Structure 1
Amino acid sequence: MAGIIPINLLKLMMLIYPIKEPDFVRDRPLQVLALGLGRTGTESLALALDELGYGEVYHGWKTADLPGCYVQWTRLGNAKYGKRSKDSTLLNRAEFDRIIGHCGAVTDLPTAAFGPEMLRAYPDAKVILNRRRDVDAWYESQKKTVAKLFTDWRSIVPSLFETELFWTWQCVRFVVIKMAGGDFERNGKEMYVEHYAQLEAECRKQGREWLDWTVEDGWEPLCKFLDKPVPTHEFPAGNRVGDFEARRARLHAKQFQRALRNIAITVLLVLVAGAAA
C-alpha cells in the first residue's frame, strides 16, 4: 500500500540519513494535553501554558530544536497509519516519553496526530481541545501554511540532499499528510471534524473532562479549567499566517544552505563524470 514504509526500508533510510534521536526520560508529570490541530491558536496557547508554569511546552516549532525527533515521529506515524506496519506496539507512553519526557504540556502537531494514544498514555493530564469554530476558516489557513509543504518541490527536492530536511519532510509525509488520507485538499475538512469527534469519544469513554477552547476565549476559561490565577494582561498572540513561511525559512536556513551546497557538489560530480566518460 502506498504511503507505508516497510520496516527494512525505514532502517535503510536511517542508515543513509543518520541522525541522533532524543532519548528523554520523563522528569516531570505531563499535566496538559492540548490536542487541537495546527492553526487553532496552538502557539498562543503554548505561550500561555508556559506563562502559567507548565515548564517546557511542546509545540510544532520546537521540533526544529531537536531534529532527531522527526525520525521518531515518522516511525510512530508509520506505526499508526501504516496498516501493514509491524510496529503498532510503539504507540505507548515509553515511546512518547523518549520525545516529550522533558515537557509538562503539549500542543500542536505532531502530538495532536496521536491524540487518542496520548489520552490513553497520560490518563492524569488535563485535556484541552483547542479549535476554530469556523471549519472553512481553519481549512483556508491550513492551505496557506502547512498544507503548502505537501506539494512544494522547493521543500521536497532539498530534503533529498540534507539529513535534517529529509526527516522533516518524512515527518510531514507520514504524519501530517497521512492524517488527511493523503489528500488535504479533498479530505481536510472531514479530517478536522473527525479528529475532534474521536477525541471527544475517547474522553467520554474514559470519563474524562475536557475544555473546549478557542483563542478568542482567552485567559478566563483556560485558567478556570486549569485552576490557575487569571493574568491581567492580554492573551499571547503567535504564529500568524503571514509569519509562517518567513519563520520556517529562518529556522531551516542552515539546512537549506547545506542542501544547496550538496546539490551543487552532486551536479559538479555528474558533469565531471560525464566529461570523463
Structure 2
Amino acid sequence: MSLDRASKLTPQPWTDIFTNDTCIDRRQCRRTVPMKILALGVGRTGTASIRAALQRLGYIETYHMMSASVENPPDCLMWHDALCAKYDGVGKFGRAEWDQLLGNCQAVCDWPACAFAKELVEAYPNAKVILNTRDVDSWHESVKRTVYWRAKDPEHYLASKVSWAASMYYPMLNKFFDTFFRGDFLNEGKQVYLDHLEEVRSLVPPENLLEYRVSDGWGPLCKFLGDDVPEEPFPRVNDISNFKARCSKRNRRQMMNAAFQAAAYGGTVFATGLIAISFLQRYFF
C-alpha cells in the first residue's frame, strides 16, 4: 500500500500573494526532453553553481532542491513518496514516476536527487554523470550551518503548520535527513558522504563519470560534456549568508500568506498573531 502523498495535493490558496510558487501537478506530466546529465554529488558541493552553469550551457531545466522548495512546492510530495518507497518499502517509484517528476529536465543535481543515485542511473543509463565533491570537513560544516539548520529551524516548523508550501517542503526535508543520513546527520554525516562517493563511483563506468569541484571552473566540465567554454566567468552562487537570508525571508512571506488567508476567512485574531510574529522575528531576532 502506498502513502501516495502526491495524490493528495491540495489547490494553492488564492491568498498566497507574497510568494511566487507554482502549483504544477507532476503526476500529470510526462518526459518531454531527454535526460542528459546526472550530477549526483550531495548538496553544498556547489550544486547551485552547477545548476547555473548547466543552464548557461543550454541544458533545458536543471533540477535542484530549489525547484521543489521555492519554485514548485508540490514536487515535495513526489519526493516524499520516492523517499518512502526507497527507505521504507512503501509504494513504488520507478521510471514512470521519474519521468513525471523530472520530465521537463535535461539535468538534475543537489538533494534530494542525490539519495537516488542508483535509481537515476538505472532510469537514465545514457546520461553522463558528474560527481561533484568538496573537502568532507568543510562540507559537513557548511551543511550544518545551512540545510541542516533549515530542517531544524523553529520558524520553518511554524510556517509548515500554516503555509501551503511549507507544509509540503518541511516534512520532505526532514524525511530526507532522517533517511539519507541514517537519522543522525551530526554524527553520521561525514561517513554517509564518503560512502555516497564510493557508491556513485561503483555505479558508473569511468568514461561516463566526471569527478568535479566547482573551483575547477568551465574547463573540465565543458570538455566532459563536449561543450564550448563560455566567455563569462563560471557562476558562483548560494553562499551561507545568502542561504540564511533567503530562507528567513521566505518564512516570513509564507506566514504573511497564511495571515492573509486567515484574515480573508474571518480569522482576524489568528492573522494578527502571525503578522506580529513575522515582524518580531524580522526586526528583533
**TM band (smaller chain):** 0.7 to 0.9
CA distance in 1, matches of 2:10, 2:35: 30
**Within 5 A, what are the aligned runs for 1:132-211?**
132=134, 134-204=135-205, 209-211=208-210
Contact 1:28–1:101 at 8 Å: present in 2 too? yes
**Number of aligned residue pairs:** 254
CA distance in 2, matches of 1:46, 1:53: 11
CA shift at 1:176, angstroms?
Answer: 3.4
CA distance in 2, matches of 1:260, 1:208: 54
Partner of 2:90: 86
Give the match's secondary structure for 2:130.
strand
CA distance in 1, matches of 2:269, 2:80: 29
Partner of 2:104: 102
Partner of 1:50: 55
User: What amino acid sits opposite 1:156 in the alignment?
Assistant: Y
Contact 1:32–1:104 at 8 Å: present in 2 too? yes
CA distance in 1, matches of 2:180, 2:258: 28
CA distance in 2, matches of 1:152, 1:251: 13
Structure 1: runs of 5 or more not aligned: 1-5, 270-277
Deviations 1:118-175 (A, max 9, x none): 001000000000010x100000000110001232221112212222111101110222
Deviations 1:92-127 (A, max 9, x none): 121011111001111111211211110010000000
CA distance in 2, matches of 1:112, 1:60: 10
User: What amino acid sits opposite 1:57 in the alignment?
Assistant: T
**Which sits farther off after the overlay, 43-52 or 17-26?**
17-26
CA shift at 1:260, angstroms?
Answer: 4.8
Structure 2: runs of 5 or more not aligned: 12-22, 272-285
CA shift at 1:252, angstroms?
Answer: 5.1
CA distance in 1, matches of 2:160, 2:262: 10
CA shift at 1:259, angstroms?
Answer: 3.6
- Structure 1 vs Structure 2 CA RMSD: 2.4
CA distance in 2, matches of 1:119, 1:76: 15
Give the match's secondary structure for 1:160.
helix
Partner of 2:278: none
Q: TM-score with structure 2 length normalisation?
A: 0.81
CA shift at 1:253, angstroms?
Answer: 4.5
Contact 1:44–1:239 at 8 Å: present in 2 too? yes
CA distance in 2, matches of 1:190, 1:260: 42
